Structure 1
């Protein structure tokens, strides 16, 4: 792990207001270290026309680190050897994870299994069997410890290799009835949280959790999902990350099957057993993946003049727009657009959305 001093600086940056993963990586790339980025934030926010965001205090970060240690957990910072390599490829990868359990399991090829919370008994039985069969082939199963399909997937894989990703702090079980299962995963598998200890699960945390599930895996299997469900968000995130999306078909008379059937109609791989899943991910698992070094970049010096700031700011509105579109319409260099958006976000004047879009 990073030295204590470097870890404290990274956590202060991560826990500061207006700094999400994309901004974190841009700051590290520009200034070379979290310590240098923390010093530069007030000046950057001033250029963006706002006040500097509230920087996390050293005392708060040290208290969090002590709590993590008391819970028998540890941090994994992106760029370190134990950090899940596929997750590190995402532009929105969590800069730090809090983990408990057998970290050696993270070296295995990983498949996500997600689905409906109100799943049918047959679907839960299928999820347990699929997860069990996949772990028998040396695959690690990741899911979100929710009711229904997630719980069944963990139950089927906890004996041989499962990862539970939660939307709360690592010390909080949600739903409460899964407390015993969560404790067992933290002992025999891997339990992962992005939120600090003591943080209750909020609605906005679940999409963030879903991108970790999708990002860790070579592919995502969806078993029962209603339209517009969280499981379909996970599938979309997997697709956007270039991973395999798989779905188990269901009866057209069952609303819980509509999401999976729609995924198959749109090109997802139809799976009926573990062999189908292994066949679907085989081309991806054999690829040699290049290392991701954006967090190791040395300091760079990219400045934006007032004209570029005005041109880019004038293009922003309440409707999210792709950053690439801002580059095209402003005529500015992509690095200049990134710098202006960084300044505006630190000033609290820009919000980032999924899919690389921004708005006022």
Structure 2
């Protein structure tokens, strides 16, 4: 992670970069748009990669687990999503499109050409580790070092979360095409780890006169998700201060929240600020991740874990490692062009 310049002295405005305007963000969004999820119940991962490559050139393959792969293509996949995948169906291969970007693949090993091998060399595996056991006999200093490194090399986790965001956007487009699914939280704030879920907000991009009621909108989205096999544990929480939908994607093995946010919501701004703060010093991320794990292990009863993260950030401010919040230049909720 690239470190930022030293924070200014108290009283000076600190102009921070907008992660939503960065090349990193655009690359993640565009990669998700060019991706599909192949579900392989027979654990025929290698064969499924070969089949995916027969549709179009593949740039990256991520093995989610032994029954699913996330395939990113080099260019636009509109033709594949519109039915181009059917050209691969044969006596050896059967492909069914269960969702816009999710494909169920059955491989007949007896008829499949076993001499075919994947061409793509950029193949990785989504890893998860039991950090509680790993940290058990470590000192605080050792724990901070391990947890700081935990946030590095999380491009695979980020890839999965951005793909899930695109899938949610596809669902929203079916009913409310004027709403944008905006990710925020750990996926972008610099504190991502291998257990991070996806926080998203629905932001209206059309005229105010046609803006939907938030409960009605979320109810429609929840109803659509319940119709899809990939999603389970869908819970609508509408009586909270911020109404949300909680869900779990069983193929990606990732959970997430969907909320309704106004254009001036603080969710995106907080993500921008935290991302900038995470780059202030190499000690910020290890310290915050250690506090977050501590809260998970010892204060699981507390309703809001972010309170402890806020206290940890305040401590770093007192130590003059990060600047006071009031010195950070305020940023608008949406980008200049009003899009993700």
Normalising by structure 1, report the TM-score: 0.25
Greater fraction helix: 1
More strand by percentage: 2
TM-score, scaled to structure 2: 0.26
